[in-house]
Structure 1
Amino acid sequence: MSTGRSNTSPALRALKFTGSALSLVAMSAAALAALVLIIVPLLTGSQTYSVLTNSMAPKYAPGTFLVVKPAPADTLQVGDVITYQIESGDPTVITHRIIGVGAGQSGERVFTTQGDNNDLADEFPVQEVQIRGKLSYAVPYVGFIANGLGNSDRGAIAQWAAVGLLGYGIVLLVRGSLEKKRRGTEPELDAVLLDMPARIDTPAQERDGSFPHLHGTDVSLMGDDPLLHDCDHCDHETSSRHAAKSVAV
């Protein structure tokens, strides 16, 4: 007996496998994006920025998404990339690399910065109060999307995006689990169907007790009533509907 599983064409099985693989890739990408772009910045108290100019190219080209984590000024050193305000209290910021560390008139630390793609250092030293944080990591091209969202709505949109990405991942997980469970039950169904014996219900043959096409077949498959045979040395009841014809003695 054939089943729907055995009749599935190789092309259809390949299509299902491809769909499952694409779903897994999409789920992994969604989880990674939510982790890198939203969850980690929120958990670490980091701020996100987008590169707009070529001053830090090619490593941090325009459109790069920057995650900047707050850091004490006394932990900063030459080679660190920092984001700082052009003027204290002004929201406009610059992200450049520290090329020198010094002391101000009152003994506070000041930093000399320069863009990787610039020939000259920045005109004014950076004071501690101007520093917003140290670059934690960067993601290329994602900054273009962040710029399109705008600075004012970015926080709320990021939270909703996190919920959407996580929800999408959960849906894919549940769908994959249900699909795996459904496939796991199919072999059991096949076994039940294949192990069921064929029932023969031929009234004419049952009446005369003949089953010519079941030569050598176990009679226990025919039903609950045994098939009786006449013999010379036994005294069987022949009232069963499956009993053989009576023999006069």
Structure 2
Amino acid sequence: MRTVASFVGRTAAWIVILAAVTVIVVAVLIPRIAGATPYTILTGSMQPAYPPGTLVVVRPVDDTDDLSVGDVVTVQLESGEETVVTHRIVEIQHRADSQTQFITKGDANDVPDAEPRMPVQVRGEVWYSIPYLGYISTALTGSQRSWLVTAIAVGLIGYAAWMFTGAWRERRRRAGAKPAEQAVGDERDQTTDPKDHSLDTE
């Protein structure tokens, strides 16, 4: 019973470790490596695809001419401003001056956004998303996120090392116990029954 409980405990611990590592990789490491930016969906305008609290990872678009109707993009509300919105492109217009502009709309909204978006306002296209993780990201500052990622990474590495060390010690203990059990068994086999050496007095 103790062995089963130990196995279940180790399995659960490794599942937690793998889940935490996966979150760190998809929410932090991959965006940094790819030059992408994580954003948090704050409103319900993109439901049901991206409900509030969803973390969307947005990667830059090299050429906005590659964008098409149906793509979900993150755009500045005003050119040069930090405030952004993540909506879907519902129409692409080409003006008389050869400029392209994008008509965007939230999936849950009845009408398109009031202002068309110019290519310079496009921050990128949604690459992938993670439900609910945006709540955590919003609650933490940039420095806090970096500190938390480092702390979690160190903790996971330390816990993994402790698990491996414990498993290694357990294997050594079992390996040492087997020869001892064998030796005891051999001694028992070599012990003779006194009845076999009783003297015949008749």
The TM-score normalised by the length of structure 2 is 0.85
Aligned AA for 2:37?
Q
- The one-character-per-residue Cα deviations of 1:54-88 (angstroms, maximum 9, x if unpaired) are 11112111111111111121221111000101111
Q: Does 1:78 align with 2:69?
A: yes
Q: Which runs of 5+ in 1 are unaligned?
A: 1-9, 200-210, 217-249
For structure 2, which runs of at least 5 residues remain unmatched after alignment? 198-202
Matched, 1:213 2:200: no
| Contact 2:43 2:51 (8 Å CA) reproduced | yes
Q: Could you say what secondary structure the match of 2:81 adopts?
A: coil
Partners in 1 of 2:169 and 2:72 — Cα distance?
A: 52
- The answer to whether the Cα contact below 8 Å between 2:38 and 2:58 also exists between their aligned partners in 1 is yes
State the distance in 2 between where 1:20 and 1:96 align: 43
Q: What's 2:91 paired with?
A: 100
User: How many matched pairs?
Assistant: 191
- Partner Cα separation in structure 2 for residue 18 and residue 73 of structure 1: 51
Maintained 8 Å contact 1:39/1:162: no
Provide the TM-score with structure 1 as the length reference: 0.70
The alignment's C-alpha RMSD in Å is: 2.2
Q: Over residues 85-113 of structure 1, what are the superposed CA-to-partner deviations in whole Å (9 max), with x where a residue is unaligned?
A: 11111111111100111223431221111
1:193/1:81 CA distance change after superposition, 3 Å: same
TM superposition shift of 1:171 = 2.1
* Separation (CA, whole Å) in 2 of partners of 1:113 and 1:177: 52
- 1:112 and 2:103 aligned: yes
Amino acid at match of 1:171: G
Matching residue of 1:35: 25
Q: Distance in 1 between matches of 2:148 and 2:195?
A: 69
CA distance in 2, matches of 1:165, 1:109: 45
Q: Which amino acid is the alignment partner of residue 181 of structure 1?
A: W
How far residue 159 of structure 1 moved from its aligned partner, in angstroms, is 2.2
Secondary structure of 2:170's partner? helix
2:154 is the alignment partner of 1:179? no
Deviation at 1:42, TM superposition (A): 0.8
Q: What is the distance in 1 between the residues matched to 2:175 and 2:154?
A: 33
Q: State the percentage of identical aligned residues.
A: 31
Instruction: Assess, with a 3 A threshold, how the Cα gap between structure 1 residues 87 and 17 changes in structure 2: closer, same or farther.
Output: same
Q: How does 1:63-212 map to 2 (within 5 A)?
A: 63-71=53-61, 72-149=63-140, 153-154=141-142, 156-196=143-183, 198=187
Query: Aligned-pair distance for 1:215?
Result: 5.2
Max Rg structure: 1
